[in-house]
């Protein structure tokens, strides 16, 4: 078995004819080896003696490789001409005087680089080693055997990268602090990160910086090319010139004129583009085509017609193609170009029923059509079958960070892997395989999501598919990779949980648009659940931190502690703020204590950012600066920290009696009190209820609970209430065999007495007394709620069928039809899921489908679900509410994007007893999370996450 030992004599081959970037990367890997082994590899000179050698190079750029190929140790033909592949092979005695060698042979520059970094990874070095000071475990005697030999595959997606955007204040401050600006030194860090993550493509920062001017000069662009980073510019920056460049160069006397208008200043603008192409033509680029107005506006003014815009845009692209032919390559098909269908450009591409858009326009042939997401992680249009053979293919501009509508999310990255997995895997299936670029804002704290995005793009066979639980595997792997060097497995398992928990919180609601009114403070205990998760994160992360060595704090804080605790603390703050306001509104004296806790969270937010920006000698200084609390506009203008509500206690002791999940309360006072009836113990599986005795005053009161029902058991029947006491009423369901009704009273001694009626049913009683209820959900409190994954029956068809996604979404699971591309809306045969539920009476019910907020894959306001009730006729329902306006930017889009749920409400007629509901496959890209029915006239308590699942027989 061939092997290589990374001992103190190991050497690396450096060749003058190699790509300089490759040698630079080899230097990084050399450092990596040192970090692991403590040995710095030597430089091998041909013919010298060497026990362990690392031979690296690129096909046709390395004498060693040619030699090894010739002598049969490797076969360069296996990779030659391929895109970014490499041979990774361990051999014994490959050369005279060399005992063991690791051969890394790239098909091209990046193939070699990926091969080199593959070595680092194999040794346990994280791709984030220099970005987060994520240090590997020190190991002596590292040996690799030929079991690791491989020839890498070509990446699934050709161009894979990210967009540094929304870069002020965070990225800008960080770069200025550490590099004196957003310059080549700064980008060198970025390029390394990108390549280590197996990316190859970058949209540089462009808010107030110019990639090809600030390096200084072209230095950043030159360096990118050296490293093999393919540069591009963002969606509205054509011809390799950043958006701000024109602002710097324009003027009355400028050769470029003084008007960003292709109509008024065609010559100036054309010259501007030409000079950009001339400047950057020698580097590897993907050239952005088209034109938008300044600052993300449309090319012509808002009152211009569709056709005008399209014609002008065609003219622009034609002009740009001519320039490219003239300057870059006569054979334009060889020049990577992209056209980004962002916002209004989408309409110009698709056109409408009267005006043909740019689709199929000859000028776009060979141009990659860059689609985009909803700004919030859901892809918009995807290529239908007819479109898929477009020459140039498709790209996707995706967001993990957003500065814009419907809301900005720019602070801590919190990409929830299952959503990205589901959307990007689907996009790939739809043929989006040429370019994947993700907006990562300031990069920092996006490492987890970005790693997955680039790994998925690199190897969709491995990380894609139709089983969402692969994301768990990925997360485990990622945690092992980053934290393997710094903590034992028991701790890493805690980290895994924290990663899921904090990104799960953000999947429910992002930081910036969180506020005290999102989760209902009491209903269904949803706020308490969020609070429990948040407090658990804070507690566990703090406990972990105590065990971390000083040197590892940088990675620990930047990759886990700060993002997770920052998120958890913010969620906690808002939950408490909502609770404070709610309690204050009921004059619960506890409100004042909660106000103090809110303040603690506000201080904690600042402390967490300070800690993040101070750790590792200020390594991340600048990155914590984004506003992230209480947005009321799409951006941070006029944002609001929580308001604390302080109350005065009543002048007499004041009892409030309330179920812990109910906003209604009783005072027990004489004239205006409303006695309550509690029905939740009619549910067969519920035999207790918790309620609170609350004080509305600073003066304590004595309470006394009395009943003459033997089946009611209270954990306490008397005591003193200073702030709040929680009482559990248990019902002994063995004492009755039919539905029972009883009463108890809670007395605030000397002040009043509240009266509660309790209904309870035995454990086994069925709602309608119906037979064949197995697998059916039980109605109680006026509703029936079913998780989509809990269907009673599943029917697939040849063309596709449902699969459960788990983990997924706001509630942990969902169902979706695979293959993702399958469209059943006009089919006769459709897969379906059948749900069964027991209704308590005949009559109308409001049926709500909660779906992921996906958007139509077609450029039409059409996105259908289908269902039928009790085998009645199928109802096909367009989930787009208002078809008179484009879905994108519509109020529905905004609401769904913020709440991360699409709710479709229907009215159905049920009968007492068991009913069936079939949910059919229909349009693609629909993901059902849960369903609930509410009896007409019943009021479902207001909540963000909806009711909990009902009891199931």
Q: Any contact of residue 696 with a copy of itself (CB under 8 A)?
A: yes
Please tell me the count of residues contacting a copy of itself according to CB under 8 A: 31
Site string for a copy of itself, 597-626 (x = CB under 8 A): -----x------------------------
Q: How far is the CB of 453 from a copy of itself (least distance, A)?
A: 28
Which is nearer to a copy of itself, 233 or 667 (by Cβ)? 667
Please answer whether residues 472 and 479 qualify as being in contact, where contact means their C-beta atoms are separated by less than 8 angstroms.
Answer: no
Which is nearer to a copy of itself, 353 or 672 (by Cβ)? 672
Q: Any contact of residue 587 with a copy of itself (CB under 8 A)?
A: yes
Which is nearer to a copy of itself, 751 or 783 (by Cβ)? 751
Which is nearer to a copy of itself, 633 or 883 (by Cβ)? 633
Window of 11-19, 256-264, 665-673, 886-894 that interacts with a copy of itself by CB under 8 A: 665-673
Give the relative orientation of helices 219-227 and 20-37 as an angle to the nearest 10 degrees. Answer: 70
Q: Any contact of residue 667 with a copy of itself (CB under 8 A)?
A: yes
- Count CA atoms within 13 Å of residue 1 on its CB side: 9
The neighbour count for residue 529, using CB atoms within 10 Å, is 14
Which is nearer to a copy of itself, 303 or 638 (by Cβ)? 638
Q: How far is the CB of 616 from a copy of itself (least distance, A)?
A: 24
Q: How far is the CB of 574 from a copy of itself (least distance, A)?
A: 13
Within 835-854, the residues that bind a copy of itself by CB under 8 A are none
Which is nearer to a copy of itself, 461 or 638 (by Cβ)? 638
Window of 122-130, 472-480, 500-508, 666-674 that interacts with a copy of itself by CB under 8 A: 666-674
Torsion angle, alpha carbons of 259, 262, 265, 270, to 10? 110
Window of 110-118, 309-317, 357-365, 583-591 that interacts with a copy of itself by CB under 8 A: 583-591
**Cα–Cα distance, 164 to 733 (Å, whole number):** 61
Q: How far is CA 510 from the centre of its chain?
A: 10
Within 671-690, the residues that bind a copy of itself by CB under 8 A are 671-673
By DSSP bridging, strand 435-441 and strand 159-164 are parallel
Q: DSSP assignment, residue 391?
A: T
Q: How far is the CB of 629 from a copy of itself (least distance, A)?
A: 9
Q: How far is CA 265 from the centre of its chain?
A: 42
Q: DSSP assignment, residue 539?
A: H
DSSP alpha helix (H) spans, 140-290: 170-179, 184-196, 219-227, 243-249, 266-280
- Find the distance separating the first CA and the last CA of the chain, reported in whole Å: 59
Q: DSSP assignment, residue 559?
A: I
Which is nearer to a copy of itself, 638 or 826 (by Cβ)? 638
Which is nearer to a copy of itself, 214 or 401 (by Cβ)? 401
The neighbour count for residue 651, using CB atoms within 10 Å, is 9
Window of 226-234, 468-476, 582-590, 878-886 that interacts with a copy of itself by CB under 8 A: 582-590
Q: How far is the CB of 117 from a copy of itself (least distance, A)?
A: 40
**Cα–Cα distance, 6 to 635 (Å, whole number):** 52
Q: How far is the CB of 637 from a copy of itself (least distance, A)?
A: 4
Q: DSSP assignment, residue 948?
A: P
Which is nearer to a copy of itself, 153 or 724 (by Cβ)? 724
Which is nearer to a copy of itself, 654 or 836 (by Cβ)? 654
**Cα–Cα distance, 389 to 370 (Å, whole number):** 14
Window of 376-384, 483-491, 584-592, 822-830 that interacts with a copy of itself by CB under 8 A: 584-592
Please answer whether residues 84 and 155 qualify as being in contact, where contact means their C-beta atoms are separated by less than 8 angstroms.
Answer: yes
Select the residue interacting with a copy of itself from 597, 669, 858, 889 (CB under 8 A).
669
Encoding tokens for residue 445? 């704290």
Which is nearer to a copy of itself, 350 or 634 (by Cβ)? 634
Q: Any contact of residue 670 with a copy of itself (CB under 8 A)?
A: yes
Encoding tokens for residue 902? 């699409």
Which is nearer to a copy of itself, 188 or 581 (by Cβ)? 581
Q: How far is the CB of 404 from a copy of itself (least distance, A)?
A: 10
What residues form DSSP beta bridges with 935? 845
Q: How far is CA 198 from the centre of its chain?
A: 19
Total residue length of the chain = 953
**CB proximity list for 660: less than 8 A, separation 6 or greater:** 522, 525, 690, 691, 692, 726
Three-state secondary structure call for residue 99: strand
Q: How far is the CB of 569 from a copy of itself (least distance, A)?
A: 15
Q: Any contact of residue 377 with a copy of itself (CB under 8 A)?
A: no
Q: Any contact of residue 627 with a copy of itself (CB under 8 A)?
A: yes
Select the residue interacting with a copy of itself from 221, 460, 468, 584 (CB under 8 A).
584
The neighbour count for residue 189, using CB atoms within 10 Å, is 15
DSSP alpha helix (H) spans, 356-464: 417-429, 447-458, 460-463
**Cα–Cα distance, 168 to 179 (Å, whole number):** 15
Q: How far is the CB of 145 from a copy of itself (least distance, A)?
A: 56
Q: How far is the CB of 25 from a copy of itself (least distance, A)?
A: 41
**Cα–Cα distance, 860 to 867 (Å, whole number):** 22
Q: Any contact of residue 302 with a copy of itself (CB under 8 A)?
A: no
Window of 123-131, 212-220, 580-588, 921-929 that interacts with a copy of itself by CB under 8 A: 580-588
Nearest to 122 by CA among 130, 114, 110: 114
Which is nearer to a copy of itself, 361 or 599 (by Cβ)? 599
Q: DSSP assignment, residue 209?
A: -
Encoding tokens for residue 748? 């605030």
Q: How far is the CB of 527 from a copy of itself (least distance, A)?
A: 20
The neighbour count for residue 905, using CB atoms within 10 Å, is 11
Q: How far is the CB of 589 from a copy of itself (least distance, A)?
A: 11
Q: How far is the CB of 160 from a copy of itself (least distance, A)?
A: 32
By DSSP bridging, strand 913-920 and strand 864-869 are antiparallel
Select the residue interacting with a copy of itself from 223, 513, 595, 788 (CB under 8 A).
595
Within 782-811, the residues that bind a copy of itself by CB under 8 A are none
Window of 45-53, 218-226, 633-641, 869-877 that interacts with a copy of itself by CB under 8 A: 633-641
Which is nearer to a copy of itself, 586 or 943 (by Cβ)? 586
Q: How far is the CB of 602 from a copy of itself (least distance, A)?
A: 6
Which is nearer to a copy of itself, 99 or 673 (by Cβ)? 673
Q: How far is the CB of 460 from a copy of itself (least distance, A)?
A: 38
Q: Work out the burial of residue 882: count CB atoms within 10 Å of its CB; fewer than 13 is exposed, 13-18 middle, 19 or more buried.
A: exposed
**Cα–Cα distance, 813 to 417 (Å, whole number):** 13
**Cα–Cα distance, 548 to 560 (Å, whole number):** 12
Which is nearer to a copy of itself, 425 or 667 (by Cβ)? 667
Q: Any contact of residue 765 with a copy of itself (CB under 8 A)?
A: no
Within 635-664, the residues that bind a copy of itself by CB under 8 A are 635, 637-648, 650-651, 654
Which is nearer to a copy of itself, 244 or 844 (by Cβ)? 244
Q: How far is the CB of 258 from a copy of itself (least distance, A)?
A: 22
The neighbour count for residue 284, using CB atoms within 10 Å, is 17
Which is nearer to a copy of itself, 130 or 639 (by Cβ)? 639
Place of tokens 């190699």: 18
**Cα–Cα distance, 166 to 439 (Å, whole number):** 9
Please answer whether residues 849 and 831 qualify as being in contact, where contact means their C-beta atoms are separated by less than 8 angstroms.
Answer: no
Residues lying near a copy of itself in the complex (CB under 8 A) are found at 584-585, 587, 595, 602, 627, 633-635, 637-648, 650-651, 654, 667, 669-673, 696
């Amino acid at each position: 078995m061939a092997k290589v030992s990374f001992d103190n004599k190991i050497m690396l081959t450096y060749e003058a004819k190699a790509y300089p970037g490759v040698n630079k990367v080899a230097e990084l890997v050399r450092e990596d080896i040192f970090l692991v082994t403590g040995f710095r590899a030597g430089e091998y000179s041909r013919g010298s003696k060497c026990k362990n050698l690392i031979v690296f190079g690129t096909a046709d750029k390395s004498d060693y490789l040619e030699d090894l190929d010739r002598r049969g140790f490797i076969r360069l033909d296996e990779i030659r001409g391929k895109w970014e592949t490499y041979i990774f092979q361990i051999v014994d005695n490959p050369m005279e005087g060399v005992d063991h060698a690791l051969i890394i042979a790239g098909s091209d520059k990046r193939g070699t680089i990926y091969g080199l970094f593959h070595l680092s990874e194999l040794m346990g070095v994280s791709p984030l080693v220099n970005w987060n000071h994520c240090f590997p475990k020190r190991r002596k005697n590292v040996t690799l055997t030929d079991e690791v030999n491989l020839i890498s595959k070509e990446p699934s997606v050709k161009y894979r990268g990210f967009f540094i955007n929304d870069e002020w204040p965070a990225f800008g401050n960080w770069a200025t602090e550490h590099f004196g600006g957003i310059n080549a030194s700064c980008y060198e860090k970025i390029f390394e990160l990108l390549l280590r993550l197996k990316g190859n493509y970058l949209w540089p920062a462009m808010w107030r910086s110019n990639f090809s001017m600030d390096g200084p000069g072209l230095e950043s662009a030159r360096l990118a090319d050296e490293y093999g980073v393919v540069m591009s510019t963002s969606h509205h920056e054509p011809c390799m010139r950043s958006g701000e460049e024109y602002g710097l160069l324009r003027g009355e006397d400028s050769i470029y004129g003084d008007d960003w208008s292709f109509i008024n200043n065609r010559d100036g603008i054309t010259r501007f583009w030409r000079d950009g192409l001339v400047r950057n033509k020698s580097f590897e680029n993907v050239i952005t085509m088209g034109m938008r107005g300044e600052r993300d506006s449309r090319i012509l003014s808002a009152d211009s017609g569709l056709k005008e815009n399209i014609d002008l845009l065609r003219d622009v692209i034609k002009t740009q193609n001519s320039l490219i032919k003239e300057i870059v390559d006569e054979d334009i098909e060889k020049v990577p170009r992209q056209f980004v269908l962002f916002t209004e450009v989408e309409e110009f591409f698709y056109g409408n029923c009267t005006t043909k858009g740019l689709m199929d326009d000859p000028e776009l042939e060979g141009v990659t059509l860059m689609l985009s997401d909803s700004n919030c992680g859901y892809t918009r249009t995807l290529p239908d079958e007819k479109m898929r053979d477009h020459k140039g293919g498709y790209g996707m501009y995706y967001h993990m960070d957003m500065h814009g509508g419907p809301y900005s999310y720019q602070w801590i990255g919190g990409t929830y892997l299952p959503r990205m997995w589901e959307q990007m895997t689907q996009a790939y299936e739809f043929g989006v395989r040429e370019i994947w670029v993700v907006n990562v804002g300031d990069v920092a704290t996006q490492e987890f999501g970005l790693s997955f995005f680039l790994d998925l793009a690199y190897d969709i066979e491995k990380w894609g598919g139709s089983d969402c639980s692969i994301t768990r595997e990925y997360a485990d792997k990622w945690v092992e990779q980053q934290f393997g060097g710094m903590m034992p497995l028991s701790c890493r398992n805690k980290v895994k949980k924290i990663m899921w928990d904090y990104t799960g919180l953000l999947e429910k609601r992002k930081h910036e648009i969180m506020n005290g009114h999102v989760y209902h403070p009491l209903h269904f205990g949803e706020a308490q659940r969020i609070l429990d998760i948040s407090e658990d994160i804070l507690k566990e992360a703090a406990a972990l931190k105590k065990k971390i060595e000083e040197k590892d704090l940088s990675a620990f804080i930047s990759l886990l502690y700060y993002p997770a605790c920052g998120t958890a603390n913010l969620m906690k703050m808002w939950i408490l703020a909502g609770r404070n306001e709610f309690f204050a509104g009921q004059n619960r004296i506890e409100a004042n204590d909660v106000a103090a806790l809110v303040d603690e969270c506000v201080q904690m937010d600042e402390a967490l950012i300070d800690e993040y920006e101070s750790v590792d000698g200020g390594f991340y200084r600048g990155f914590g600066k984004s506003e992230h609390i209480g947005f009321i506009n799409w951006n941070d203008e006029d944002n609001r920290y929580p308001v604390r509500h302080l109350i005065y206690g009543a002048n007499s002791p004041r009892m409030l009696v309330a179920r812990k999940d109910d906003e209604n309360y009783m005072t027990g006072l004489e004239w205006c009190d409303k006695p309550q009836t509690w029905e939740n113990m009619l549910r067969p599986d519920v035999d207790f209820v918790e309620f609170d005795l609350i004080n509305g005053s600073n003066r304590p009161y004595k309470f006394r609970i009395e009943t003459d029902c033997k089946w009611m058991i209270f954990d306490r029947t008397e005591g003193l209430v200073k702030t709040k006491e929680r009482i559990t009423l248990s019902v002994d369901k063995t004492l009755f065999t039919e539905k029972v009704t009883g009463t108890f009273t809670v007395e605030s001694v000397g002040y009043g007495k509240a009266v509660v009626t309790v209904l309870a049913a035995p454990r086994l009683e069925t709602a309608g007394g119906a037979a064949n209820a197995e697998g059916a959900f039980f109605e109680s409190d006026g509703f029936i709620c079913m998780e989509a994954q809990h269907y009673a029956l599943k029917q697939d068809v040849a063309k596709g069928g449902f699969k459960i996604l788990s983990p997924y979404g706001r509630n942990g699971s969902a169902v979706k039809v695979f293959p993702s591309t399958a469209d059943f809306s006009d089919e006769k045969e459709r897969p379906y899921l059948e749900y069964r539920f027991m209704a308590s009476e005949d009559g109308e019910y409001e049926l709500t489908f909660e779906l992921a907020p996906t958007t139509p894959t077609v450029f039409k306001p059409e996105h259908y679900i289908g269902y039928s009730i009790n085998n009645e006729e199928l109802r096909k329902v367009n989930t787009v509410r208002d078809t008179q306006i484009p879905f994108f930017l519509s109020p529905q889009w905004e609401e769904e994007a913020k709440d991360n749920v699409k709710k479709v409400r229907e009215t159905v007629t049920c009968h007492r007893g068991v009913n069936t509901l079939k949910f059919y496959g229909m349009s693609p890209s629909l993901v059902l999370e849960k369903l609930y029915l509410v009896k007409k006239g019943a009021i479902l308590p207001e909540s963000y996450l909806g009711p909990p699942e009902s009891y199931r027989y």
